[in-house]
Chain A
Amino acid sequence: MRRVAITEVAQISGPDSKDNFYDQAYRVTREVLDKAGLSRDEVGTIVSASTDVFHGGISCANAYYWESTGSFMKAGTRQDGESMFALHYAFMKILTGKYDTVLVVGLCKGSENPDNDAITQLIADPFYQRPVGLNETTAAAMQMHQYMEAYGATAEQCATVVEKNLGNALRNPYAHRRGCYSTEEVLASGSMCHPLTDLMCAPKSEGFIAMLLAAEDKAREITPQPVWIKGYGCALDTYFLGDRDLLAGQLPNAARRAYKMAGITDPAKEIDLVELCEPYAFQELLWCEQLGLCGRGEGGKLIASGKTRIDGDLPVNPSGGVLATNPYVSRGLQRVVEATLQIRGHAGEHQVRQQVNTAVCHGSTGFAGQCHAVAVIGR
């Protein structure tokens, strides 16, 4: 099988911007091509991720931003929703042997959008679930309820995720929300959707994310520091919330597939860093368990141990994660960019202290994590 590398990455990210979507998509694409030293014509093809009507109120599929991403006249395609899938499709396009380079972009301009819940209630069907108030936040609140009851995880442990991630974000210039919060402040930050508090829920952010993938020979021409895609897996649960076991879910299956491809047998030992998708604080604990970083029900203990802090043995979300920055569609691809920077030692002030050889990136979307994608990348 061909080896595929992430050669260059770029991001425009934060709370908002005076630039418009059309131009921001161009800027981030221009930046990644300039870094790679390639012209638009030299790029094989492109895969983009966006949800144009929901998260932009403009366009159908990729019509609006097609030229902004350098795709005019190219045989590109687009993924609707979670951008980690765009990475997967781009990876496969290179594996076919037909392309040596593929540009991947994830685009979302949260500052222009209605509230997250106004959009995510549309994930619910109009017959059964939408009329009774289901959206991503209410689904997560019920999942949190079950998580705390099943394992005795405490609200304080969940609040520690916020304290850690928003604290990490203080060092990340691309973060939207950051701050030095105590767990007491997190717990007292207002009860949006009990048992979630306001600070336990991610904001809506801007995230224009681009990366250039290349086959091995081409990658070595572009960069002295290729970051290899070693494994990928995804899994989706069934649709109706009441049909699902919200504490079992499909992340273990996605992770198992990615680890098998990457040859990882003991994730807790072999992985140096994790960037995961935690739009609701407690999900970081549950996802850590399901990624095999600790035992079932031990997510609370894991964070209490300090191991997942930026200076710990297994940093989780040193960028601040999705709690700090939540460009809904591109949040998965942003995890891959952040992990790539850490592997290269280019993360700046939020660079972790230990060398990162292998990192796990995770993207998730849908109610209570209906859909999960996992990528293992490394030196």
Chain B
Amino acid sequence: MSQAKEYRIFETEVWLPYRVAYGETWTRFFEGMKEQKLYGTQCRKCGRVLVPARSFCPRCFVDTSDWVEVSQTGNLQAFCYTNYRYYGQALDPPYVTALIRLDRTEVDFVHLIGGIDLTSVEAVSSRLAKGMRLHAVWEKVRQGHILDIKHFEPVE
């Protein structure tokens, strides 16, 4: 954005604050995170356990029925190593974002992988493989936020 152009440019930005309602289901999910628990909901039609919890099943379009506490351990499905910067980035690179299938759930949980050497893609790739076991590592002080889980780490 800031590179010189051969023509006249006007530098401007749009900054807008939002206040977004959690809703009943996600409030309960994040209250659970404060207690170091992960909750999903089960679809009464297809039986899938959805995590994070959902008030309805996106595929069957019916209300979910039961709340279930889900495992904090699962299998790595896919990951991506990010080591570059962009405007408004949520996290300081480097970091690894991953899809993790928690045990006895039917969807992937999106979170970070840590507790490993993140200094290079080679270091990360040599440590991670599809299907490997990962478990949640929690922050000591929890605020009811997705980053109350610091990251997932390989199960030793």
B93-120 interface with A by 8 A CB criterion: 95, 97-99, 107-112
Interface pair A142/B79, CB less than 8 Å apart? yes
Among B14, B20, B80, B147, max chain A CB count under 10 A is at B80
In the complex the two chains form, is A133's CB within 8 Å of B125's CB? no
Give the residues in chain B near A194, CB-CB below 8 Å.
Answer: 80-81, 83, 121, 124-125
- CB contact under 8 A between A191 and B121, given known A115-B87, A132-B111, A133-B91: yes
User: In the assembled complex, which residues on chain B have CB atoms less than 8 Å from the CB atom of A246?
Assistant: 78
- Known contacts A238-B59, A242-B107: does B97 contact A18 (CB below 8 Å)? no
Q: Pick from A114, A134, A243: contact of B50, CB below 8 A.
A: A243
Smallest Cβ-Cβ distance to A115: which chain B residue: B86
Q: Are A128 and B50 in contact (CB under 8 A)?
A: no
A138 touches B97 (CB 8 A): yes
Q: B59: which A residues are within 8 A, CB to CB?
A: 238, 243
Say whether B45 faces chain A, with CB atoms less than 8 Å apart: no
Q: Are A193 and B84 in touch, CB under 8 angstroms?
A: yes
**Chain B interface residue count, Cβ-Cβ cutoff 8 angstroms:** 47
Total A-B pairs, Cβ < 8 A:
112
A118 contacts B110, C-beta separation under 8 Å = no
Which of B87, B107, B110, B147 counts the most A-chain CB atoms under 10 A from its CB?
B110
When distances are taken between beta carbons in the complex, the residues of chain A under 8 Å from B87 are 114-115, 118
- Give chain B residues whose Cβ lies under 8 Å from the Cβ of A239: 58
Question: When A146-B78, A239-B58, A241-B108 are in contact, do A16 and B5 touch as well, CB less than 8 Å?
Answer: yes
Please judge, given known A-B contacts A133-B95, A238-B59, whether A142 and B80 are in contact too, CB under 8 Å: yes
Beyond A191-B83, A240-B58: 5 further Cβ-contacts under 8 Å?
A: A57-B12, A118-B88, A132-B90, A194-B125, A240-B107
Bound-state CA distance A377–B110 (Å) is 39
Cβ-closest chain B residue relative to A116? B86
Whether a CB of chain B sits under 8 angstroms from the CB of A97 is: no
How far, in whole Å, are A355 and B50 apart by their CA atoms in the complex?
50
16 A-B residue pairs with CB within 8 Å: A57-B14, A128-B110, A130-B90, A131-B90, A131-B91, A133-B89, A133-B91, A134-B97, A138-B80, A142-B79, A142-B97, A145-B78, A191-B83, A194-B80, A242-B110, A246-B78
Binary interface encoding of chain B residues 34-78 relative to chain A, with 1 for a CB under 8 A from any of its CBs, else 0: 000000000000000010100000110000000000000000011
- Quick check: A242 and B109 within 8 Å, CB to CB? yes
- The residue in chain A whose Cβ has the minimal distance to the Cβ of B81 is A194
* Nearest chain B CB to A32 CB, angstrom units: 25
Q: Within 8 Å of chain B (Cβ to Cβ): is A192? A: yes
| A-side contacts of B138, CB under 8 Å | none
Contact between chains at B146 and A131 (CB < 8 Å): yes
Residues of A within 8 A of B91 (CB): 131-133
Q: Which residues of B contact A224 (CB under 8 A)?
A: none
List residues of B (1-33) whose CB comes within 8 Å of A's CBs.
Answer: 1, 5-7, 12-14, 18, 20, 22, 26, 30
User: Which residues, 170 to 206 on A, are CB-close (under 8 Å) to B?
Assistant: 191-195
In the complex, A352→B117 CA distance in Å? 49
Kindly state the separation between the CA atoms of A149 and B50 in the bound complex, as whole angstroms: 25
Kindly state the separation between the CA atoms of A246 and B86 in the bound complex, as whole angstroms.
25
Residues of B within 8 A of A127 (CB): 20, 22, 26, 30, 52, 146
Question: Which residues from chain B contact A238 at a C-beta distance below 8 Å?
Answer: 58-59
B134-156 contacts to A (CB < 8 Å): 145-147
Query: CA of A141 to CA of B79 in the docked complex: distance in angstroms?
Result: 8
Is B84 in contact with A145, judged by CB distance below 8 angstroms? no
**A128-B110, A132-B97, A241-B110 known; A114+B1 contact, CB < 8 A:** yes
Least Cβ distance of B4 to chain A in Å? 12
* Contact among A114, A129, A240 for B86, CB-based, below 8 A: A114
B127 contacts the other chain (CB 8 A): no
Interface presence of A121 (CB below 8 A) = yes
Q: Does A117 contact B (CB under 8 A)?
A: yes
A191 to B81, CA, bound (A): 9
Instruction: Give chain B residues whose Cβ lies under 8 Å from the Cβ of A141.
Output: 80
1/0 contact trace for A227-267 toward B, CB 8 Å? 00000000000111111001000000000000000000000
The CA-CA distance from A193 to B96 in the complex, in Å, is: 9
B86 close to A118 (CB less than 8 A): yes
Question: Which A residues from 93 to 128 make CB contacts under 8 A with B?
Answer: 114-115, 117-118, 121, 126-128
Residue of A nearest to B8 (CB): A18
Query: Does residue A53 face the partner (Cβ distance < 8 Å to B)?
Result: yes
**Distance in Å from the Cβ of B143 to the closest Cβ of chain A?**
12
> Considering the chains assembled together, what is the distance between the CA atoms of A115 and B84 in angstroms?
12
Contacts of A53 in B (CB 8 A): 14
